[in-house]
Amino acid sequence: MSAAMPNEQWTLQSASHVLSVPMHATETEVRRKYRALILQIHPDKGGDPLTFHRTREAFAFLSTRFVKENEQRIKLLEKMRATKGWADKAAATMRKTQEQTTEDHLAKDEGQEVTELREGVEDSYGVVPGADAKRLGDEAMADGDAERALQLYDAATSYARIDAGAYAELYACRAMARIVLGGGRADGADSLDNDGGDGDANWHAAADDAARACAQRPAWVPPLLLRARACARLGRWSAARAAADRARELVRAVPPPIPGTAPIAWTVEKVCALADRIDALAHAERCVATCEGGTSPIVACACSTLSARWDPVLRTGVADRDGDVDSETPPTQRLASVDDAGVLRIYRLHDGELEARVQAHNAAAVSLAWCPDGSGLLLTAGRDGRARIWDASAGGAEAMHSLEGHLLPLTFACFDRHGGVVATTSEDCTACVWDVATGALLLALAPLHKRMVTCACFSPSGRQLVTGSDDMEARVWDLVGDVEAPGECVHTLGWESGAITDVAYTPCARLILTSTHHPRADKNFYRVLVWSAVSGRLCRWYDGHNGTIVSWSWHPNPEEESSAHIMATASHDGTIRLWDIAGEPSGAGKHTLLCDAYSGAPVYRSQLGGPQMTGTPSAVAYRPHVGDVLAVASVDGAVRLLEGETLELFTELAPPRRQAKAVTSLCWSAEGDYLATADEDGLLRVWRAPEVQEED
């Protein structure tokens, strides 16, 4: 690829050349090629940044072109429908087609010669290959000969002399022939179960043909139904649900059949039934277990961690210093949740069976965490002013320690990386550090914060603690006396950028991140600030979000230099952004990737000053160990899995549409093979996590 020129003016030819696709390529083909290409040339993979940028621009140009073409087709269809006498013309055309078909059948019955295609022989009747082959293919389908019909449809697509609109019908007919050859039924009553047999090739081809028909006529229902059926049969549930939902939306807006003509082959009831059926099948395919709790919204859920004696990547026991392997059987993984009523529930992860239910707090719970050493200890914190440590190693929930000392409700609690100490923060403007083994108070940090402390995070070494507060400051505390006396504040991190909503260390422990929100009358600030953990100086800040940052997640490969400081953030503005966090004092930084395709529309302005969107994400989390998948929970009830490096959607996990509630929390299992989600109705769902290549 050649170097990009300043202010390059893109054309269809130049953009197609950059993406190495023909100019007549469909939107699906362009998107598939782009996704494959971008993974190869991404700068994180060693690619040229200029080539990467130029490829993205070319894809954006073609995507905009597809959107405009689809809008023009829809407007033209609406204009035709609004034209006086359009219904009569449509009815006359349909009657003429039926009469012509009847005449052809009568001629065939009377022994008259009917124009057909002949291999290697010229027709003396002046056959128009596209039109005649299409008509003959329809006749073969009506006679039940799908194989012959497919041959004729292939000939029609190769030698067609028809307009662009007729291609949609041709592709739809060919998709139907492929479905029948793959074992499906023409009436749509097939089971949609993927038997993994030879018919899969026909279903793949049917899905592609239906996609081409949809690209030609976006507002036509039949190819949408064909694509939904084919994708469901192949297990591509995201595409199947998208096509079925679009068909349901269109069929509800279409007027009833025109009197005096043949009835439409699809009905509102039929389309809605297919969409509901695909919803149920998608849910059953992906959902491993549904854990029913109470009616209170779930505040947090968390999957148990693994012992250091178990390797989650190799899935085998790890030998100790004497060379003995503890076990070659993976430990039982558990899922815990706490809700607004203060109830703690513990389930087995693989089947969702309830193992324990206890009233952990006398008020709403605010925090939940498993001990990172894999010992099975569990930490909860509540608005009753105390935190509690539980022993859940045997499957129950035995109370070990009650950590009491704060004067007002707690706001957060967490373990250090080694699981030896616990930090708690409170509305009384203080933070405390506790010993896990004895439950004793180790340090009561000085009340230097002027407002409630909202968050805390231990350094990777466990020797420092950073706390964030609504007073627009974060403070770094020396816990062991490396610089000051134990419990003394060594740095105050403040830049008047607003209240602190979260704090974090980089995996290398050299930098500290704080997220802030500062609603103002003239301009709202929603920033990620980067500080030196050694000097406490501000290194850089990242703007871009237009709403409060509600969740963030580090890429889980700190050993790889290219991804050591990649962070994903989710915001009330409905967007997901990737940031390459750097400590160089170079001023403002920008996001590297943005995903705003599912933000939806504004519904109201939140109390923190930012817009709340219908598709606002509530949590994001990278898959452990590999980071190939970024899970995004949303208030619209969807759980979307995005490719970790490109933020392209490859599948969507969600309950049936009629049951969808706002998802409040999500968490990955320790091995990354399951994903647990919690919603506002108190339900937990455990999903089998697919690999990226499972869905196109």
Please state the domain extents for the chain: 12-81, 144-289
Mean pLDDT on 7-27: 80
Backbone angles phi, psi at 594, to 5 degrees: -135, 135
Q: Is the alpha carbon torsion for 29, 34, 35, 40 positive or negative?
A: positive
Tens-place pLDDT, residues 640-685: 899 888 898 888 887 666 567 889 899 999 888 899 999 888 889 9
Tracing tokens 């003394």 back to the chain, one arrives at 488
Structure tokens at 347: 């389930």
Distance CA 496, CA 506 (A): 22
* Mean per-residue pLDDT over the chain, rounded: 80
Q: What is the pLDDT of residue 567?
A: 92
Q: Which residues contact 161 (CB under 8 A, 6 or more apart)?
A: 128, 129, 130, 131
Of the candidates 470, 589, 575, which has an alpha carbon nearest to the alpha carbon of residue 528? Answer: 589
Percentage of the residues of the chain whose pLDDT score is greater than 70: 78
Q: What is the pLDDT of residue 221?
A: 85
Query: H/E/C letters for each residue in 87-110?
Result: HHHHHHHHHHHHHHHHHHHHHHHC
Q: What is the pLDDT of residue 265?
A: 56
Say whether 144-289 and 12-81 share the same fold. Answer: no
Per-residue b/e over 124-141, b at no fewer than 16 CB within 10 Å?
eeebbbbebbbbbbbbbb
Tens-place pLDDT, residues 70-104: 777 677 666 655 665 555 555 555 555 445 544 54
Q: What is the pLDDT of residue 106?
A: 46
**279 burial level (CB within 10 Å; 0-12, 13-18, 19+):** buried
Which range is most confident: 17-31, 53-67, 350-364? 350-364
Checking 124-131 for CB contacts under 8 A at 24+ apart, the result is 128/161, 129/155, 129/156, 129/158, 129/159, 129/160, 129/161, 130/156, 130/159, 130/160, 130/161, 130/162, 130/166, 130/170, 131/156, 131/160, 131/161, 131/162
Q: Which residues are 634's β-sheet partners?
A: 617
Which range is most confident: 138-147, 209-218, 371-380? 371-380
Pair 282, 274: CB distance under 8 Å: no
Q: What is the pLDDT of residue 406?
A: 94
Pair 207, 234: CB distance under 8 Å: yes
Of the candidates 493, 462, 456, 454, which has an alpha carbon nearest to the alpha carbon of residue 478? Answer: 462
Tens-place pLDDT, residues 529-547: 999 999 999 999 998 888 8
Tens-place pLDDT, residues 399-441: 999 999 999 999 999 999 999 999 999 999 999 999 999 999 9
Given pLDDT bands bounded at 50, 70 and 90, which one contains residue 502? very high
Tracing tokens 């871009």 back to the chain, one arrives at 544
**In this predicted structure, which of 242-246, 557-561, 616-620 has the lowest mean pLDDT?**
557-561
Between 583 and 378, the higher pLDDT residue: 378
Superfamily name with CATH number, domain 12-81: DnaJ domain (1.10.287.110)
Fold for domain 144-289?
A: 1.25.40
Distance CA 661, CA 683 (A): 9
The CA–CA distances, whole Å, from 111 to 114, 325, 392, 678 equal 9, 83, 83, 69
Pair 455, 501: CB distance under 8 Å: yes
Tens-place pLDDT, residues 476-487: 999 998 888 899
Backbone angles phi, psi at 217, to 5 degrees: -135, 85
Structure tokens at 401: 């320690």
Percentage of the residues of the chain whose pLDDT score is greater than 90: 30
The DSSP code sequence of 118-158 is -TTS--TT---HHHHHHHHHHHHHHTT-HHHHHHHHHHHHH
Other C-beta atoms within 10 Å of 268: how many? 12
Structure tokens at 154: 């292939």
- Alpha carbon dihedral 520, 522, 526, 530, in 10-degree steps, equals -100
Given pLDDT bands bounded at 50, 70 and 90, which one contains residue 290? confident
Q: What is the pLDDT of residue 259?
A: 45
Which pTM value belongs to this model?
0.70
**Helix/strand/coil for 410:** strand
Between 12 and 500, the higher pLDDT residue: 500
342, pLDDT greater than 90? yes
Q: What is the pLDDT of residue 124?
A: 37
Q: What is the pLDDT of residue 195?
A: 54
Structure tokens at 693: 């290549």
Q: What is the pLDDT of residue 561?
A: 52
Distance CA 500, CA 298 (A): 24
The DSSP code sequence of 558-571 is TTSGGGTTEEEEEE
Distance CA 617, CA 367 (A): 19
Q: What is the pLDDT of residue 1?
A: 40
Mean pLDDT on 257-266: 46
